[in-house]
Amino acid sequence: MPRIALLQMTSGIDPDANAATIGEAIKRAAGEGAEMLFTPEMAGLLDRKRERASRNIVPESESVLVDRIAKAAGEAGVWTCLGLPVLREDGRWANRTIVFDKSGEIEARYDKIHMFDVELDTGESWRESAAYVPGENVVTVEDTPVGRLGLTICYDIRFPALFEELGRHKCDAISIPAAFTVPTGKAHWHLLQRARAVEASAFVIGAAQVGRHEDGRQTYGHSIVVGPWGDVLLDMGGEAAGLQVCDIDLGRIAEVRKQLPSLANKRDIPKSGAQ
């Protein structure tokens, strides 16, 4: 039964400080017997002021943060899912998850597909697409400590077609790192996490940002692990950053899929046409 660790962060505008937090979490996760650590979306840098952020968003190949986390993961022998912004060759940014194996080698990259462009009644306005380019590929990682792992990021959770495709890949677990706003988190975080776990008959792992950040935003927290039956196995609350571990019973997946074989029963829905 693998043990995973979730790092709930209040990431700031200094990549060095964020890297130090993540590096210490990797060591602590290893000390607590975890085989894999999950960080939130944008764990390496959370800065909504684009001019200032641009000084710290570099190509992945030039990222000191990536090098430091790869080294820490390899030294501790802990698989690590890292969220960070990177500079693409075309000069625009990608909101990326990088998966390192226990040797510190990069196993996969996933760029967030759905951009967070919203106007909330609270007055919060977000235009992620103004600086970030959406990804185009569905990504899964084979043979991780939690089996076949599907990768998504935050706002992706609202788009069932992506999770339907991950269901076709028979993922054992799906990672949904996030930086949810407080209003949307209160309304939808737990609901959506549980729904996605039930739909995929898989574990859902949502490491989250929490609290008041240096750039002025406030995030919801409640880093979560949900089982394939929709039961919440871990909820870290919305008050403080920290690290917690959770044991994952992969045998539970087959039990649920045998009882309720929704993936096997899935049928293509015919397109409606004018009558």
**142 in catalytic set:** no
Residue in 41, 102, 128, 199 annotated catalytic: 41
Q: What is the H or E stretch that residue 119 is in?
A: strand 117-119
Contacts of 57 (CB under 8 A, 6+ apart): 45, 85, 86, 87, 93
Q: What is the CA radius of gyration of the chain?
A: 18
CA atoms within 13 A on the CB side of 271: 2
Query: DSSP label at 110?
Result: E
Residue in 35, 112, 128, 171 annotated catalytic: 112
Task: Decide: 47 and 18 in contact? Cβ < 8 Å.
Answer: no
Q: Give the span between the Cα atoms of 249 and 252, in whole angstroms.
A: 6
Residue in 35, 81, 102, 154 annotated catalytic: 154
- Burial class of residue 27 (count of CB atoms within 10 Å of its CB; 0-12, 13-18, 19+): middle
**81 in catalytic set:** no
CB environment 75-111: b (16+ within 10 A), e (fewer): ebebbbbbbbbbbeeeeebbbbbbbbbbebeebbbbb
Q: Give the span between the Cα atoms of 150 and 274, in whole angstroms.
A: 37
- Between strands 242-247 and 3-8, the pairing is antiparallel
Residues forming the active site:
41, 112, 154
